[in-house]
Amino acid sequence: MTGLEVTLRAVRHRGRRAFVPYFMAGTSNEWLRHVEAAANAGADAIEIGLPFSDPMMDGVVIQEAAKRSLDRGTTLASVVGELASVDVGVPLVVMTYYNVLLHGGLERSAAMLAQVNVRGAIVPDLPPEESSEWSSACAPHDLATIYLVAPSTPNERVAMVAQRTQGFCYAQGRMAVTGTTSEEGDGASVAAAIRAVSDVPVYVGIGVSTPEQAQRAASYSDGVIVGSALVRRILDGATPNDVEDFVRSFRRALDASHE
């Protein structure tokens, strides 16, 4: 069991629903201050996007953030260099695409990430069946590889993914790219399918954009991931204080639902 999963299982054992905000690295000079603000406001882990020019999972908001980041010259090496200057006290998980890691060299990329408190990686275009080289590169550094389950995933594949994921299993709330929505989605059925075959922590993401939606998602999962709603605010000029207020609103909702 990876260190990330030990940490997240401990969060669940305390009866706490995890909140995981997503940030795109390098969107502004303040992006690290935003990350620190989220940790101060009660995030249990923080997902950090490494920008890629041709994302397959990201909607328009995250794409805009990635373009802004790339235009500023953001690379894997630059993100690692900046992360070396902070210690937010909660696990960091990167979300990126396989080409970014392959371009940097799998072993080198895994080692660089692990050196700056990154405890896991979500690589949506890397299927479990083709992940052996990346997993081998991660193993010496206790770097978890986190897999996703979609509403369309057949039951037999859910079992395979749930067995191989490390840290937590990412339950897609909708068959869509990332983005905000008022629809309830399929998170409950996806989470139930994962829980039927594994005790791994289950976090729901894609489409969770308000504290109320997070509260509902937490009723059938171990935690929620919020990306586009937060990134949109940052693109529109949110300050670290604004980010802290945003995260606290979700933290209060999650805590209130399980008092």
Complete DSSP assignment for 135-152: HHHHGGGT-EEE-EE-TT
Consecutive sets of 10 residues in the chain, 259 residues long: mean pLDDT of each? 98 97 97 98 98 85 95 97 96 97 97 97 96 98 97 95 97 61 73 97 93 95 96 97 98 85
Residue 153 has which token pair? 């995933």
The CA distance from 257 to 66, in Å, is: 34
Q: Nearest CA to 211 among 157, 169, 247? A: 247
The pTM assigned to this predicted structure is 0.94
Number of domain units in the chain = 1
Identify the pLDDT of residue 259. Answer: 57
So which residues are the catalytic ones?
A: 47, 58
Distances (CA, A) of 110 to 105, 116, 123, 145, 221: 8, 11, 12, 11, 29
Find the CATH number of the domain harbouring 248: 3.20.20.70
Q: Give the pLDDT of residue 179.
A: 43
For helices 60-71 and 228-235, angle between their N-to-C axes, nearest 10 degrees: 50
Q: Give the pLDDT of residue 228.
A: 93
Give the integer Cα–Cα distance in Å for 134 and 120: 12
pLDDT at 56: 80
Reduced to 3 states (helix: H, G, I; strand: E, B; else coil), residue 129 is helix
Range of the domain at 112: 3-256
How confident is the model at residue 76, as a pLDDT? 97
Q: What are phi and psi of 7, to 5 degrees?
A: -65, -45
* Coil, strand or helix at 82: helix
CA distance 134 to 145: 9
Amino acid, res. 234: I
What is the model's pLDDT at position 176? 44
Question: Residue 252 corresponds to which tokens in the numbers above?
Answer: 């209060």
What is the per-residue pLDDT for 180? 45
